[in-house]
Chains A and B, each alone.
Chain A
Amino acid sequence: MTSHVFEYTRGGNNEPVPDSDDPVHGKPMLVNMGPQHPATHGVLRLVVELDGETMHSIDPDVGYLHRGKEKTCESLGWHKFFPHTDRLDYVQPLMNNCGYALACEKLAGITVPQRGQDVRVLLMELSRVMAHLIYIGTTSIDLGAVTIFFYAFRMREEIYTILDAYSGHRMNNTYVRIGGVYADVDDTVEALIEKFLAETPARIDEIEKLLSANRIWYDRNRGVGVLSVADCKRWSLSGPNMRGSGLAFDLRKAQPYSGYETYDFDIPVGTVGDAYDRYLVRMEEMRQSIRICRQAIERLKKTKGEDVLVEDRRYVLPPKGAVMSSMEELIAQFKIVSDLRLPKGEAYHAVESSKGELGFYLVSDGTSRPVRCHIRAPGLMNVQAIPVLAKGRLLSDMVAIIGGLDFVMGEVDR
């Protein structure tokens, strides 16, 4: 990195150290924020060097939630890693499921049936709404608008109700499999989703009415944490953060998967690239996600009764009833549970998660365990940008910057 603007060294900065006898500035004060701090969204530790209220330097210290997820994948095997993907970005478990499944399918070279793809799109878009609601909820509570937090969580609660009806779990659903999804969306769930889709846009408007034109909200976010497109590329930022800066790059359009190319939706982009633009982009993305969900529901209505899981006994478990009555299916079940093998090779597949490009890089040597599993977590890149954006700003801006970048520590530390 050559530009001095982005030069950042641990525990210090390149400006001359202030003179400790200087009556105005004196010695900078070192404040340790986190890992237990209300604004750090989990267990992020920030070491902030303060001159009065101005941040001289800010040093994010990640790793408090490190659980060795990649290594876990390499020792558990292909199929058993699914529950662990739920716990990466735990506000959108099904999105992570889909990302991992798509990478595995790329390696195996199988195609998911149409209905399975539509169900996945539906689940992924619901996850996106869920994650963006967390964003708006936590950011607003950090900036002092506590009630918005409850409005957002109330909407999120309804998605949980839907997922509960669908999978029997509210969080950590693990309902995606290699080759499709575990279960079909039945009429009850469909009705719940339709109700949600009908009610939600008005509620998003309600939140926007309270915030978008609110002078305090505007002042707190406008011009805070400005990122140009070049900065985003340099710091590998993707997703809403990059679109907030004005680049209409969305993997759903750029490298379509699960049939996204057949859906009709827009990519909102910002102009300035500050926290306010990111907020606007995310609010609009929720509406676009709802639009995609509506289309997916329409398609599901047309393909009722079709398979959601591919019929491939190398990778996909046979139905439970068949296992009980047929010897071949029993053997297939045993083989898959104990020794599911993906062909030799490597594959990288990325999905457009709510935080950016969520990629899974898998290397297989043809055995039942991956040689290497790497997760490209967009949240980690978002954390990287904090020191750059926060330097020289006021302490109060830190919460707007952290909130605007939007990351989940489960995914950052993995």
Chain B
Amino acid sequence: MSPQVLEIVVWVIKVHVIFVAMTAVAALTTLAERKVSAWMQYRHGPNRVGPQGILQPLADGVKFIFKESLVPDGANKWMFRIAPALAAMPAMLTVAVIPFGPDVTLFGVTTPFSITDLDVGVMYILAIGGLSVYGVIVGGWASNSKYSLLGSLRASAQMVSYELSLILAILAVVAVSGTLDLREVVMQQKTLGQWNIFYQPVAFVLFLIAAFAETNRHPFDFAECEPELVSGFHTEYSAMRFALFALGEYCAMIVMSSLAVTLWFGGFSVPFMPEAHWAIGIAAFCAKVTFFLFLFLWVRWTLPRFRFDQLMNLGWKVMLPIALVNLFLTGAVISYAPQLKALWPQVAAVWNGGR
């Protein structure tokens, strides 16, 4: 096999493995959502399909496929049909550049465990992730329902406002790392002391809050906001089209968790084991992502929901100034105090106990 063909074969395999894993994890997250909420609420959760309800997502999928997919009268038929795909696609596309693990060696072939390593990976994620608002706004508008329209307007305003803080928070990390390549960012965080969380904690908190808003998750789930808007932008959707919206939301959660892990928590690097086997690296990455996914669920089932104007106030009047100041300080430290930057490895060494 010529190297080119081998490369293509490996690439196709990687795409399939990662895409299938992603969808499976998204499905499992829906199960986790129901199980975790049940445990928090003295309930059992789904436990009929398979052992402990583990096959529930499968049953849901079958149900979604066989349900009738209604298109309401007066809806813009094409827009209505396209919107779920628009909602699900960006989250799935962004998976492409996330480094899930170190170089993997299988059957004598060594390849990095990610679909591709773009040298502008961060930018790619932000650019594609920004498209996810279209699915929401098109879906809400095309439904020809007042609830949907209100929901989608809220969602778009919210996503646009929080994207600014999100980008500024990520930029601060990029400034520290000096690269837009996500794998490179991970490579710089090989040991615990090098994790960006210790250099950019403020940016992380901002990112986390903005990530909740970006994915339309509680306490920022105005797009859905059941008690006011029935179900928000997907009120009129049913069957697989509805499922695609849900899939998009859960994939976005996974991407945001992966991004937090990659940028702040050393990605696939294992603390105190800089030269760990690739399998351990992937496992560490999964464990870290699982924690953040749990955080998403934990917050959803604990907190009340913001009011829309309070959310906008928080985004524009609190988070954006903090993000700007944080970025400015980061830039100032990097530019005007190079000796301080030279000191950072020593600080890291202290963190590592002189390792």
| A binding-site residues for B, Cβ under 8 Å | 29, 31, 37-39, 50, 53, 140-147, 150-151, 154, 210-211, 214, 216-217, 219-220, 394-399
Counting CB contacts under 8 A, is B16 at the interface? no
Q: Which one of B42, B228, B305 lies within 8 Å of A395 (CB-CB)?
A: B228
The smallest beta-carbon distance between B15 and chain A, in angstroms, is: 38
Contact between B227 and A214, CB atoms less than 8 A apart: no
Counting CB contacts under 8 A, is B43 at the interface? yes
Contact between B303 and A29, CB atoms less than 8 A apart: no
Q: Which one of B37, B41, B43, B303 lies within 8 Å of A144 (CB-CB)?
A: B303
The 10 closest A-B pairs by CB, nearest first: A144-B305, A150-B41, A39-B227, A145-B304, A142-B227, A396-B307, A143-B304, A144-B304, A399-B227, A216-B304
Bound form: Cα–Cα A143–B308 in Å: 12
Counting CB contacts under 8 A, is B226 at the interface? yes
- Beyond A53-B150, A147-B37, is A394–B309 a contact (Cβ under 8 Å)? yes
B82-126 contacts to A (CB < 8 Å): none
Interface size class of B (residues with CB under 8 A): 20 to 34
Contact between B218 and A38, CB atoms less than 8 A apart: no
The smallest beta-carbon distance between B326 and chain A, in angstroms, is: 22
Bound form: Cα–Cα A145–B40 in Å: 12
Query: Which residues of A are found within 8 Å of B150, using beta-carbon distances?
Result: 31, 50, 53, 395
Contact between A398 and B41, CB atoms less than 8 A apart: no
Counting CB contacts under 8 A, is B230 at the interface? yes
Query: Which residues of A are found within 8 Å of B147, using beta-carbon distances?
Result: 31
Bound form: Cα–Cα A382–B143 in Å: 35
Q: List 5 A-B contacts (CB under 8 A).
A: A39-B228, A144-B221, A145-B304, A216-B219, A216-B306
Bound form: Cα–Cα A140–B37 in Å: 15
Contact between A31 and B304, CB atoms less than 8 A apart: no
The smallest beta-carbon distance between B40 and chain A, in angstroms, is: 5
Contact between A146 and B307, CB atoms less than 8 A apart: no
Bound form: Cα–Cα A31–B148 in Å: 12
Bound form: Cα–Cα A261–B243 in Å: 59
Counting CB contacts under 8 A, is B52 at the interface? no
Contact between B226 and A216, CB atoms less than 8 A apart: no
Which residue, of A29, A31, A141, A398, has the highest number of chain B Cβ atoms within 10 A? A31
Query: Which residues of B are found within 8 Å of A394, using beta-carbon distances?
Result: 307-309
Q: Mark B293-315, 1 if CB is under 8 A from A, else 0.
A: 00000000111111111100000
Query: Which residues of B are found within 8 Å of A210, using beta-carbon distances?
Result: 302
Contact between B37 and A31, CB atoms less than 8 A apart: no
The smallest beta-carbon distance between A377 and chain B, in angstroms, is: 24
Counting CB contacts under 8 A, is B146 at the interface? yes
The smallest beta-carbon distance between B213 and chain A, in angstroms, is: 13
Query: Which residues of B are found within 8 Å of A50, using beta-carbon distances?
Result: 150
The smallest beta-carbon distance between A147 and chain B, in angstroms, is: 5
Contact between B310 and A219, CB atoms less than 8 A apart: yes
Query: Which residues of A are found within 8 Å of B301, using beta-carbon distances?
Result: 146-147
Q: Mark B266-305, 1 if CB is under 8 A from A, else 0.
A: 0000000000000000000000000000000000011111
Contact between B308 and A38, CB atoms less than 8 A apart: no
Query: Which residues of B are found within 8 Å of A31, using beta-carbon distances?
Result: 146-147, 150
| B binding-site residues for A, Cβ under 8 Å | 37, 40-43, 146-147, 150, 154, 218-219, 221, 225-228, 230, 301-310
- Beyond A214-B304, A216-B305, is A146–B37 a contact (Cβ under 8 Å)? yes
Bound form: Cα–Cα A216–B307 in Å: 8
Query: Which residues of A are found within 8 Å of B146, using beta-carbon distances?
Result: 29, 31
The smallest beta-carbon distance between B322 and chain A, in angstroms, is: 17
The smallest beta-carbon distance between B275 and chain A, in angstroms, is: 44
Bound form: Cα–Cα A396–B229 in Å: 9
Q: Which one of A141, A145, A154 lies within 8 Å of B42 (CB-CB)?
A: A154
Contact between A147 and B304, CB atoms less than 8 A apart: no
Query: Closest A-chain residue to B302, C-beta based?
Result: A147
Additional 17 contacts, C-beta under 8 A, given A217-B304, A396-B228: A31-B147, A38-B226, A39-B228, A50-B150, A140-B304, A141-B227, A143-B304, A145-B305, A147-B37, A147-B301, A150-B41, A214-B304, A216-B310, A220-B304, A394-B308, A395-B150, A396-B225
Contact between A150 and B304, CB atoms less than 8 A apart: no
Bound form: Cα–Cα A220–B150 in Å: 19
Contact between B302 and A37, CB atoms less than 8 A apart: no
The smallest beta-carbon distance between A226 and chain B, in angstroms, is: 16
Contact between A397 and B303, CB atoms less than 8 A apart: no
Bound form: Cα–Cα A128–B263 in Å: 52
The smallest beta-carbon distance between A146 and chain B, in angstroms, is: 6
The smallest beta-carbon distance between B23 and chain A, in angstroms, is: 27
Query: Which residues of B are found within 8 Å of A398, using beta-carbon distances?
Result: 228
Query: Which residues of B are found within 8 Å of A141, using beta-carbon distances?
Result: 227
Bound form: Cα–Cα A309–B328 in Å: 79
The smallest beta-carbon distance between B215 and chain A, in angstroms, is: 16
Q: Which one of B221, B226, B303, B308 lies within 8 Å of A214 (CB-CB)?
A: B303
Query: Which residues of A are found within 8 Å of B230, using beta-carbon distances?
Result: 37-38
Bound form: Cα–Cα A219–B147 in Å: 24
Bound form: Cα–Cα A146–B226 in Å: 11
The smallest beta-carbon distance between A150 and chain B, in angstroms, is: 4
Query: Which residues of A are found within 8 Å of B307, using beta-carbon distances?
Result: 219-220, 394, 396-397
Bound form: Cα–Cα A397–B307 in Å: 8
Query: Which residues of A are found within 8 Å of B41, using beta-carbon distances?
Result: 146-147, 150-151
Query: Which residues of A are found within 8 Å of B309, using beta-carbon distances?
Result: 53, 394
- Beyond A395-B228, A396-B228, A399-B228, is A143–B42 a contact (Cβ under 8 Å)? no
- Beyond A39-B227, A147-B301, A398-B228, is A53–B308 a contact (Cβ under 8 Å)? yes
The smallest beta-carbon distance between B309 and chain A, in angstroms, is: 6
Bound form: Cα–Cα A198–B302 in Å: 26
The smallest beta-carbon distance between A238 and chain B, in angstroms, is: 26
Contact between A211 and B226, CB atoms less than 8 A apart: no
The smallest beta-carbon distance between B43 and chain A, in angstroms, is: 7
Query: Which residues of A are found within 8 Å of B305, using beta-carbon distances?
Result: 143-145, 216, 220
The smallest beta-carbon distance between B56 and chain A, in angstroms, is: 19
Query: Closest A-chain residue to B146, C-beta based?
Result: A31
Query: Which residues of A are found within 8 Å of B308, using beta-carbon distances?
Result: 53, 394, 396
Query: Which residues of B are found within 8 Å of A396, using beta-carbon distances?
Result: 225, 228, 307-308
Query: Which residues of A are found within 8 Å of B303, using beta-carbon distances?
Result: 144-145, 214, 216
Query: Which residues of A are found within 8 Å of B225, using beta-carbon distances?
Result: 396
Query: Closest A-chain residue to B222, C-beta based?
Result: A396
Query: Closest B-chain residue to A218, C-beta based?
Result: B304
Contact between B42 and A144, CB atoms less than 8 A apart: no
Which residue, of B228, B301, B306, has the highest number of chain A Cβ atoms within 10 A? B228
The smallest beta-carbon distance between A401 and chain B, in angstroms, is: 12
The smallest beta-carbon distance between A280 and chain B, in angstroms, is: 15
Bound form: Cα–Cα A190–B206 in Å: 54
Q: Which one of A150, A216, A399 lies within 8 Å of B43 (CB-CB)?
A: A150
The smallest beta-carbon distance between B355 and chain A, in angstroms, is: 41
Query: Which residues of A are found within 8 Å of B226, using beta-carbon distances?
Result: 38
